[in-house]
Structure formats: C-alpha cells, structure tokens
Structure 1
Amino acid sequence: MATILKRATTDLVAIAWIKGLVGDIVATTVPRLPKTGIPAWAETGFVTVHTSSGGANMYVPMRMPVVLVDCWAASPNSVKPPWNKATALAETIVAGCLDHQNNPRLLTLPAGYPHARVLSAYTVQEPRRPVIPGGGEASADLGSWARIVLALQLHWISVGGA
C-alpha cells in the first residue's frame, strides 16, 4: 500500500503566515460560540482564511494563490459592531505585507507537513466592509459582530518533504 505524504496547502500556509502577524487567532472557520458567556476570541478578534483563486507556476514548484481573509470582531455586551477592532486586524495584515524584513519568511506548518516559504505577500483588495447586494453594508448575522474582508496574493513554495 502506498504511503500518502502530507503536502503543504495554501490554507495551511496562509494561516501560518498570518499567525506570525496577529498570533494564534487564525483558522479556516470562526470557533463555535459558547452556549453561555463570551467567546474566548472576543477580546482579540479572529481571522479566517480560504483560498479563492490563483494557480501554480508551470516551470517551478511555486504557488500563486489569492486568499480571502475575513477579520472578525465581536462586542458581546453591545449592539454596536466593533468595526475598529476588525479593521485593526486587517491593517496589521496589510502592514505585514509591506514589512520587507518579514518577506520572504520560512513557515513551520502543523506536525507531519513540510515547511513552506512565503516569497511575497501583498494585498489585491483593500480592507473593506462586505456589501450584501441590495442590502447595503452588513456586519454578520449578529448585530454585535464586525467583519472586514481583504484579499492577499501569496507566492509560496514547499520546503523539504517529497
């Protein structure tokens, strides 16, 4: 039986790269809300990522995806969405793109995956509040949530592994 190797993926790379900027508040989904009380990430906000488009270089093993980034913030004790907190997360990511000492950067992925190196990262969409067609600006389903979205172009390679 063939052994299937774990390979780096764009979602894993994007999560690791953004964690280097904002800390351990990044995943592909927002953590479940507790049945009672305040979510653990309410103080810091939370970032979710997912691959949108892009491709791989035809001649070298380099990926060039566009990653959609959602920056979430919640105000459990208020009905006013904390737009500034969500915007601050997004702007931290934008600043990380402009930090030339931060790019390129070697990343450690979860156990069993090869390392990856982000060669460059830059925004291809300005941070903004999402718009629902016909509905104007919207935060999230809950009135006390704020969501700021942006898109990143990453150029990355897998380092090590087969």
Structure 2
Amino acid sequence: MTTPTLRATPELVAIAWLKTVVGNIVATTLPKPGSSGVLSWAESGFVTLVTAGGTPNLYVPLREPVMGVSCWAASPGSQKPPWNKAAALAEAIQAACYDHPAIPQTVTLPSGYPAARVLSAYTTGEHRRIHDDASSYARYDIPGLVIAWTEVPT
C-alpha cells in the first residue's frame, strides 16, 4: 500500500497566511475554554475560517478559494462584547491585503505538506458586526477573503 501524498489545502494555506498577519491565533474552530473556564484567547482575540467557495484554475495549478473569516473577542466576566478588539483583527486582515510589497510570499504548512506560494489576497466585502451571540463574544465577519496560491514544487 502506498502512502498518499499530502497536498496543500485552502484551509491550510489561509491559516498559514493569516498567521503572518495576526499571529498564532487562527484555526478552523474556536479553542475550548480551559478546565477552569478560562479562555486562552481572551487577551488577543481569535480568528476562525471556513472555505466558502472559489474555483480552481482549469489549466494551471492555481487556486483561488474564497474564505469566510470570523474575528472573535471576549471579555470574561463581562456581558459587554469587546467590539473594538474584534474589529481591530478584521482591520488588520484588510490592511494586510493592501500591503502589496508583502505579497507574494511563501508560507510554511504543517509537517509533511509542501509549502505554498501566496500570490495575492483581497476581500470581497466589508467586515460586519454579528450580533446576538449568547456567550457575549464580539464577532466580526469578513464575508469573503480570496487568497490566490499555488503549491511550491518539491
């Protein structure tokens, strides 16, 4: 039996690129609270993402997924969501899309995966406040973050 070759995926590439923007506070799901109910990300905020669409290029190995991005913030012990902290994460991502000299760049993926070359990143809409979170978290969504990328040949 042959071991399958690991390939870069839209989520892995988007996480790696977003980590260059906001640091190591990015994943596909929010971290669960610790045993004492403490949120490990309360001080920094957190960013989650999901693949929302996109179309791979028909002729060349160029990928352009559209990612849905959520920027989260929490104030443990308070019922008032820290909207400005969540908005600051969304603004940092938007600003990185305008930082054209910093793109393209090669991003490192988890062990065993090839690196990916991010060629461009842009948003398809303004981030917006999401109300009515039962946990009193602040959340801003970026409806579409398009990251054009290709695998780096090994």
Task: Identify the TM-score tier after normalising by the shorter chain.
Answer: over 0.9
Correspondence 1:48-59 to 2 at 5 A: 48-59=48-59
Q: Deviations over 1:125-145 (max 9, x none)?
A: 211113xxxxxx33x2212x1
Q: Which residue of 2 aligns with 1:120?
A: 120
Q: CA deviation at 1:40?
A: 1.2
Aligned residues: 153
Task: Report whether the alignment pairs 1:73 with 2:73.
Answer: yes
> Secondary structure of 1:53's partner?
strand
Unaligned runs of 5+ in 2: none
TM-score normalized by the length of structure 2:
0.96
Q: What is residue 10 of structure 2 aligned with on the other side?
A: 10
Residue aligned with 2:85, SS = helix
Bigger strand share: 1
**C-alpha deviations, 1:60-97, integer Å up to 9, x for none?**
10011100000000010211000000000000000000
Residue 60 of structure 2: aligned partner = 60
2:148 is aligned to 155
Q: Distance in 2 between matches of 1:62 and 1:141?
A: 40
* CA-to-aligned-CA distance 1:35-63 (integer Å, 9 cap, x gap): 32421110000000110000100111001
- Rounded to whole Å, the distance in 2 between the matches of 1:10 and 1:146 is 26
Instruction: Supply the distance in 1 between the matched residues of 2:51 and 2:102 (Cα, whole angstroms).
Output: 21
Aligned partners of 2:138 and 2:43: how far apart in 1? 13
Query: Displacement of 1:102 after TM fit?
Result: 1.4
Residue 40 (structure 2) pairs with residue 40 (structure 1): yes
Alpha-carbon shift at residue 160 of structure 1 (Å): 2.0
Q: How does 1:71-150 map to 2 (within 5 A)?
A: 71-130=71-130, 137-138=131-132, 140-143=133-136, 145-150=137-142
Question: What is the TM-score normalised by the length of structure 1?
Answer: 0.91
- Shift of the alpha carbon at 1:3? 2.0
Instruction: State the superposition RMSD in angstroms.
Output: 1.0
Percent identity for Structure 1 against Structure 2: 55
Unaligned 5+ segments in structure 1 are: 131-136
Q: What SS does the corresponding residue of 2:79 show, helix, strand or coil?
A: coil
The structure 1 segments of at least 4 consecutive aligned residues displaced by more than 2 Å after TM superposition are none
